[in-house]
Amino acid sequence: MGLILLMIAGAAIFAYWNAARAAAERAEQLGRNACEAAQVIWLDQSVHATGMRLRRNEDGRLGFERTFRFDYSYDGVERHSGRLVLRGEQLVSFVGPVKPTVVPFERLN
């Protein structure tokens, strides 16, 4: 009986670790793509998990919402932090570099 419980606990720990690793890889991919699209330097080539909490998904099931931080630079000198939140593998929040755009100026008459 004790061996079965140990195996169940081991399987649960492995499933949690595997899901956390997959979320970190997805966050890394999203952070890298955002920096590339905004034409900024992605620093440290990694993301850092900063938080995790239980949240309901769109289907009503409980799941983990994980928050990650990454660093980027516009000029290679100043360092800025970006943040993204994943619920499962879905991106639900992003704060970070944006692609520079030019807004045309309109004269008021």
**87 within some domain:** yes
Side-chain-facing half-sphere of 76: CA atoms under 13 Å: 0
The answer to whether the beta carbons of residues 43 and 32 sit under 8 Å apart is no
* Amino acid 109: pLDDT: 66
Give per-residue pLDDT as tens, 94-106.
Answer: 998 887 777 777 7
Residues 14-35, mean pLDDT to the nearest whole number: 92
Give the contacts of 4 (CB within 8 A, at least 6 positions apart): none
* pTM score: 0.80
**Cα→Cα distances 28→77, 85, 90, Å:** 22, 12, 13
Number of domains the chain contains: 1
Residues 16-25, mean pLDDT to the nearest whole number: 92
Task: Look up tokens 């520079």; give the residue.
Answer: 100
Domain that holds residue 40: 2-95
**37 within some domain:** yes
In this predicted structure, the answer to whether residue 85 has a pLDDT above a threshold of 80 is yes
Q: How far apart are CA 69 and CA 47, in angstroms?
A: 6
For the chain, helix, strand, coil in percent to 5 are 35, 40, 30
**109 within some domain:** no
**72 within some domain:** yes
**80 within some domain:** yes
**55 within some domain:** yes
**108 within some domain:** no
Q: How far apart are CA 109 and CA 39, in angstroms?
A: 37
Which of the pair, 1 or 63, is modelled with greater confidence? 63
**105 within some domain:** no
- CA nearest to 63, candidates 81, 88, 85: 88
